[in-house]
Chain A
């Protein structure tokens, strides 16, 4: 039955649609964040950095990741990035069933603010040592990642502006959290602290000298 058939409830229905439907996280975010902070095997070579630099960066990233994980572990449905609205993900992942909308609504705001603050801090930290970690990627790929980071940052700026005007809008809050998570994903997935883990990581190659590489954009 459509909302159009109940004009009197249109606003309420729309508002309810935007609300998170559960109190439980749709999935535990920490394993994903931790996994993505872990070494990846794609980049085939290690630049030669001083050990303490890598160690310091690794410690910073892990601290950020653990902090994010701690903050997001108990978030509400509206916190859970990666979903449009609480659907089967919530039902499957939480296994706790849905809470009533009023509780969800009232509980989500402070946790949302904490999660946003954590993401903002995390992305700022990750951004600050981007130059160091970016050296693991071939130059052309690095520029692709930089360009796409700019796309996400522009999106974040757009949603931030809208959210500043409507800070109680859970729909915008969810979008903002999703964009920040995508930014963290990109910063940690493709710009890792240690690109080792595969056979290539043991090779004393300097990534910047892979002159034969032709890294072109094969995208749509």
Chain B
């Protein structure tokens, strides 16, 4: 049916007005935030946010500074001192009901010796320059960690986790998010259901990786006597080793294929299913155990 010209004009005008309103609303709603409190050099800083972003930086000052902008229904950012613990959180209006738009872009500078605990939902999270322990949780926001924290513990549901840091202990878990773990760590533990695990961390003495349905890729220079264990149900497990690697290697799979470019082929037992492989590279100083149920296992030269 043909719409009269006048009605078309009115409709177009209304649509344009609505678009203008929609475009201008977020800009006018955002507020600038700047909060500063004194802090001890090695205290605890807890930060939470829902959507937007969180950037945490370690610095030399004995204070915590929170800057950024908040929008939507967020009233402001609260910075609360509880002894040596500083809590940074989003303040919402009391009694708010219905749809809630929680959005904040925060940059939090903390004394570099602080231990930092951050929880976000879909907000992106970046941490750099912190030397204390990190405990990071994200639902769907991506997480990036750099610097030299003493310990990193990061949990994610679907957000990708990327670590390029020098630390002692690195523990990462995800449900479906990528775990890309690099840098240097003495101990690495990674666990995921369907989030791919890529491990390039150097210097590790102990590595444990588990996935259910996704690939594990290990391409790392471990400590000479390192213990590396990688297990997947149906995901592939790929291990790339340097020319001078020295380790006793075992691999076993119930129904997956084992391809070994560095030594003997896998063998199947006379009775029952499964493939198994055991061989030694160099002096056999380290120990590497690879396992899958149905995923393939590949051992390659780097």
Which residues in A have some Cβ–Cβ distance to B below 8 Å?
A: 1-4, 10-11, 13-15, 17-18, 40-44, 82-85, 87-89, 92, 137-138, 140-141, 144-145, 147-148, 151-152, 155, 158-159, 162, 166, 169, 171-172, 175, 178-179, 182, 185-186, 189-190, 198-200, 203-206, 209-220
Min C-beta distance of A21 to chain B, whole Å: 10
Q: Which residues of A contact B290 (CB under 8 A)?
A: 84
The 9 closest A-B pairs by CB, nearest first: A199-B89, A211-B99, A220-B196, A88-B227, A212-B101, A84-B289, A84-B229, A42-B137, A219-B176
One of B34-42, B59-67, B107-115, B262-270 at the interface:
B262-270
19 contacts between A and B (CB under 8 A): A3-B279, A17-B252, A41-B119, A42-B138, A83-B229, A87-B287, A87-B289, A137-B139, A141-B140, A144-B158, A144-B175, A145-B157, A148-B175, A152-B193, A171-B254, A179-B212, A205-B100, A213-B51, A219-B177
Min C-beta distance of B91 to chain A, whole Å: 9
User: Complex formed: what's the CA distance from A216 to B121 in Å?
Assistant: 11
Considering only residues 144-165 of chain B, those with a C-beta below 8 Å from chain A are 155, 157-160
Q: Which residues of B contact A89 (CB under 8 A)?
A: 206, 208, 227, 229
Min C-beta distance of A105 to chain B, whole Å: 16
User: Complex formed: what's the CA distance from A194 to B72 in Å?
Assistant: 27
Considering only residues 201-232 of chain B, those with a C-beta below 8 Å from chain A are 205-206, 208, 210, 212-214, 227, 229-231
Judging by beta carbons under 8 Å apart, are B272 and A155 in contact? no
Q: Which of A147, A169, A215 is the one whose CB lies under 8 Å from B272?
A: A169
Min C-beta distance of B188 to chain A, whole Å: 13
Judging by beta carbons under 8 Å apart, are B140 and A4 in contact? no
Residues A198 and B102 in contact in the complex (CB < 8 Å), given A2-B279, A17-B252, A219-B195:
no
Q: Which residues of A contact B117 (CB under 8 A)?
A: 41
Residues A44 and B50 in contact in the complex (CB < 8 Å), given A82-B208, A215-B158:
yes
Q: Which residues of B contact A159 (CB under 8 A)?
A: 233, 254, 293
**Chain B interface, DSSP helix/strand/loop, else mixed:** loop
Judging by beta carbons under 8 Å apart, are B160 and A218 in contact? yes
Cβ of B273 within 8 Å of any chain A Cβ, yes or no, is yes
Judging by beta carbons under 8 Å apart, are A219 and B119 in contact? no
Which residues in B have some Cβ–Cβ distance to A below 8 Å?
A: 46, 48, 50-51, 72, 78, 87, 89-90, 92, 94-103, 117, 119-122, 137-142, 155, 157-160, 173-178, 191, 193-196, 205-206, 208, 210, 212-214, 227, 229-231, 233-234, 250, 252, 254, 263-265, 267, 269-274, 276, 278-280, 287, 289-291, 293-294
Number of A-B contacts (CB under 8 A): 241
Q: Which residues of A contact B270 (CB under 8 A)?
A: 11
Judging by beta carbons under 8 Å apart, are A171 and B51 in contact? no
Q: Which of A2, A182, A216 is the one whose CB lies under 8 Å from B280?
A: A2
Q: Which residues of A contact B289 (CB under 8 A)?
A: 83-85, 87
Judging by beta carbons under 8 Å apart, are A190 and B175 in contact? yes
Q: Which of A3, A82, A155, A189 is the one whose CB lies under 8 Å from B213?
A: A155
User: Complex formed: what's the CA distance from A140 to B90 in Å?
Assistant: 22
Q: Which of B97, B142, B287 is the one whose CB lies under 8 Å from A88?
A: B287
Judging by beta carbons under 8 Å apart, are A209 and B98 in contact? yes
Residues A213 and B157 in contact in the complex (CB < 8 Å), given A205-B96, A220-B196:
no
User: Complex formed: what's the CA distance from A41 to B139 in Å?
Assistant: 11
Judging by beta carbons under 8 Å apart, are A14 and B276 in contact? yes
Q: Which residues of A contact B48 (CB under 8 A)?
A: 41, 44, 198-200
Judging by beta carbons under 8 Å apart, are A158 and B279 in contact? no
Q: Which residues of A contact B191 (CB under 8 A)?
A: 82, 182, 185
User: Complex formed: what's the CA distance from A210 to B92 in Å?
Assistant: 12
Judging by beta carbons under 8 Å apart, are A210 and B272 in contact? no
Closest chain B residue to A18 by CB distance?
A: B252
Closest chain B residue to A14 by CB distance?
A: B276
Closest chain A residue to B272 by CB distance?
A: A166
Besides the contacts A87-B227, A87-B229, what 5 more A-B pairs have beta carbons closer than 8 Å? A3-B278, A14-B276, A175-B254, A198-B119, A218-B160
Q: Which of A14, A140, A190, A213 is the one whose CB lies under 8 Å from B269?
A: A14
Residues A182 and B212 in contact in the complex (CB < 8 Å), given A84-B291, A151-B193:
yes
Judging by beta carbons under 8 Å apart, are B89 and A200 in contact? yes
User: Complex formed: what's the CA distance from A66 to B173 in Å?
Assistant: 23
Judging by beta carbons under 8 Å apart, are B233 and A18 in contact? no
User: Complex formed: what's the CA distance from A204 to B94 in Å?
Assistant: 8
Judging by beta carbons under 8 Å apart, are A215 and B137 in contact? no
User: Complex formed: what's the CA distance from A137 to B82 in Å?
Assistant: 28
Judging by beta carbons under 8 Å apart, are B141 and A218 in contact? yes
User: Complex formed: what's the CA distance from A185 to B79 in Å?
Assistant: 33
| Most chain A CB within a 10 A radius of its CB, from B97, B119, B138, B289 | B119
